[in-house]
Structure 1
Amino acid sequence: MKGKIVVMVLLILLSLQPLAYAKTTSWDSLNNLSDEALQLTKQERYEEAAALLEQFPQKLEQSRHDTVNLSPENIRMLTAIHQEAVGALANDGLEKVEKVRKIIRFRLLVDALQSEHQPLWTEMEGSIMGAFSQLKTAAADGDSLAFQNDFHSFLDQYETILPSVQVDIRREYVQRMDAHLAFLNQTEAVNEESRLKQLDQMEQDLQNLFHKMKEEEVNPSLIWMMVTTGSVIIFTLSYVAWRKYRGDKIQYTTP
């Protein structure tokens, strides 16, 4: 009897997995496609990369039928970033570094829409914080020309991860960064002291974008699975204990 109960518990636990598994496998093909397109772009095989990206809309539609649910806002964002990537590959006048940046932007977004923990865009923390450090140094030195160059360099890197950040991080954190960037872009109206103060605040908010991923609440579906699994186990153990108690009691009272 106990063997049957154990089998029943295992079957129930396994039944909780198919939805998450289907979502993962359905999106894996999109992740692989975006990564392969990026590798081809780095190798300057632009036509092959473009041919892959042309397959993306159809594969996305197939994945959506396989329980991969995206909000209308995320679909619009993904469509726009995909079109930018396709346009970059077709633009003969665009330098390789810009083509690669557009495909990276697309690649990171595809990953962010699937990954619930440690998405790829968080791995860019080192390079982005390095670019920001150069920006602060230029501001502290009072070198306006260097500051403008470093500001645009930082902005290019930040905009590469921005769509992914918007998917993973609450809107108020993104809005703080928008406010910092708008302030710093007012080159003529900002004095050195105000700029340095703004950069100090911006540095903290920029770090929060990366660190908040580690502090975000556990996914509700994961909480539901943990609670359900725990409830099944507790119920089963309680049932087994009750059956044992009842059997012992019957055995004890039988003459």
Structure 2
Amino acid sequence: MTGWWKVVTCALIIFFSFSGTNEGHAEGKEGWSELNRSSDTILQYVKEQHYEEAAKIMETFSEKFLKVSAAEQGLSMREMQTITSAYDDTLSAVKSASMPHEERVMKTYKLRLLMDVYADSYEPLWQKMRDPLFNELHGMRMSIEENGNPYTQQTDAFLAYYGTVEPAWSVALEASQYQKINSQMQFLRKMAAGEPSKKDWDRHMDVLEEALTEIFEGKMEDEVTDPSFYWLIITVSGAVFSCLTYAGWKKYRAYKAEILRNSLKRNRGQ
């Protein structure tokens, strides 16, 4: 009888150990879904300039995250740093009265895209960044072909889009993919600060296109972009335009309008 009770006791211990793990996993999954919904609510409030309402949600967001991270117990130190950084950026965007509205929205998008990764969505929102990134890359190629180098506002906009999706990619992508695209973006910053030749620009555009294609591989070229991401395009463009002279703005507006018009035509044809 003693031996039998030992077997039963061991079986119960094993059962409840696995049961507790599954419950913790379920709790963690639901917690991430709640955080994802909260990040979307925060983004909508910021877009509508309801900053006080967004700040209130931010308070509950931090409390929820502490509970989720405690239940999950699988987050790496790098992931914790990434989430904390995105949270801090969003918090500063919500509370900084001196920050331009466009910049506030861009910072809030970081947290939105990142939380969607952890919510384990069937189709992660970061995949919707394909059109904004490739459109901007195409614009840079056009300028390089015509002038030998891209406009400063083009590289600024391209890097702004990357900065928005970078936290999500740092978690969602394979380490080699993330390191590749991140190093190429760093190199782009150095090129923009120098005076590379047209040949160097062309070569780097090829490398960037290859890296981005690898990330978005398997997605249809003419896939309809989520309407909310046209809002992001307008936001980034607005932030860039604020730094331009009138003459430079006219040139940039012409090429941007052409790209956006073609994208909208393509989507209407679906």
TM-score normalised by structure 1 residue count: 0.70
In structure 1, C-alpha distance between the alignment counterparts of 2:218 and 2:110, rounded to whole Å: 20
Is it true that 1:152 corresponds to 2:119 in the alignment?
no
Deviation at residue 182 of structure 1 after TM alignment: 3.3
Q: Which runs of 4+ in 1 moved over 6 A?
A: none
1:98 aligns to what?
A: 103
Give the AA of the match of 1:152. D
Q: Distance in 2 between the 1:147 and 1:114 partners?
A: 37
1:156 aligns to what SS in structure 2? helix
Tell me the residue number matched to 1:186: 191
Residue number in structure 1 paired with 2:145 = 140
Q: Partners of 1:92 and 1:19 in 2: how far apart?
A: 40
Amino acid corresponding to residue 150 of structure 1 in structure 2: Q
Structure 1: 5+ residue runs without aligned partners? Answer: 1-14, 214-255
1:36 aligns with 2:41: yes
Which residue pairs with 1:10 in the alignment? none
CA shift for structure 1 position 178: 2.9
Question: What is residue 169 of structure 1 aligned with on the other side?
Answer: 173
Q: For the residues of structure 2 that align with 1:141 and 1:180, how far apart are their CA atoms?
A: 23
C-alpha displacement at 1:202, in angstroms? 1.1
Q: Does 1:198 align with 2:231?
A: no
2:217 is paired with a residue whose SS is helix
Identical-residue share of aligned pairs (%): 23
Is 1:51 aligned to residue 56 of structure 2? yes
Question: Does residue 1:79 correspond to 2:84, yes or no?
Answer: yes
Distance 1:195 1:23 in 2: 45
Q: Which runs of 5+ in 2 are unaligned?
A: 1-18, 220-270
Deviations 1:95-146 (A, max 9, x none): 21111111111111111123264311111211221111111111111264x5
Alignment of 1:230-245 (within 5 A): none
SS in 2 for 1:211: coil
- 2:32–2:118 CA contact under 8 A, matched in 1: no
Distance in 2 separating the partners of 1:89 and 1:192: 41
Contact 2:86 2:111 in 1 (8 A): yes
Query: What RMSD, in angstroms, separates the aligned Cα atoms of the two structures?
Result: 2.5
Q: CA deviation at 1:58?
A: 1.1
Say which one has the larger Rg.
Answer: 1
